[in-house]
Structure 1
Amino acid sequence: MSTIAEAAPQTHDTLVRLDAAGKPLAIRHDGRIWLVDPDTESRHWYGRDAWWDTRRTAAVGSGDLVSIEYWQVQVRSGTHSALRTATLRREPLSTHWLLENISDADETTEEE
């Protein structure tokens, strides 16, 4: 009998430029700037973190410890380049975004 460990998703530190409403406009990653295509729909949602698995206590007034923010946006690295789908993630209490994945636009699947 063998067991297969699930691989953790690859994440990369990322700089994200946001509009006044908090929607991503551009992503800087690995020396490249990816512009969010304004003619495509972006997806925004929140997941939940099991903070009790990683931290023993939560101080009173420490803020939202469970909401993981996600954005899925269509980006281009140049005016004539193909659209790619980028998924961004921000952990609870963090000010930094992580690039969870970037793929060809037609390779993405719907999440439930």
Structure 2
Amino acid sequence: MSRRTSTIPDYERSRQGSTCSVRSCGGMSPDATRELWKTMLELQERYGCYTSARMDLAVGAGDMALSLMPNPFILDTLNDSVVDLPDEGWEMLNRCLQQPRL
């Protein structure tokens, strides 16, 4: 059986320090931040990759999910805590985080 190699660099897969994050949403527009939150909720629904009661509530909240979006610092903290996510999930998350900054 052949072993599949990951396309995501190790530094993007591991936990990051709280002072500097590869997966930071700092400087994103409000619209881009909302899109990030929606993507995070989709990842939570698919993979259960976040340990967050707020996210679990938001996944089931339908149209009210945006009202449960935390501040950017908490979004970064949640993303820094993700360790076990398939490559497809990392690609989705990183695509959102590569949005132009303000």
**TM-score between both structures, scaled by the size of structure 1:** 0.26
Q: Flag the structure with larger Rg.
A: 1
Which has the larger share of strand? Answer: 1
Q: 1 or 2, which has the higher helix percentage?
A: 2
Higher relative contact order (CA 8 A, sep 6+): 2
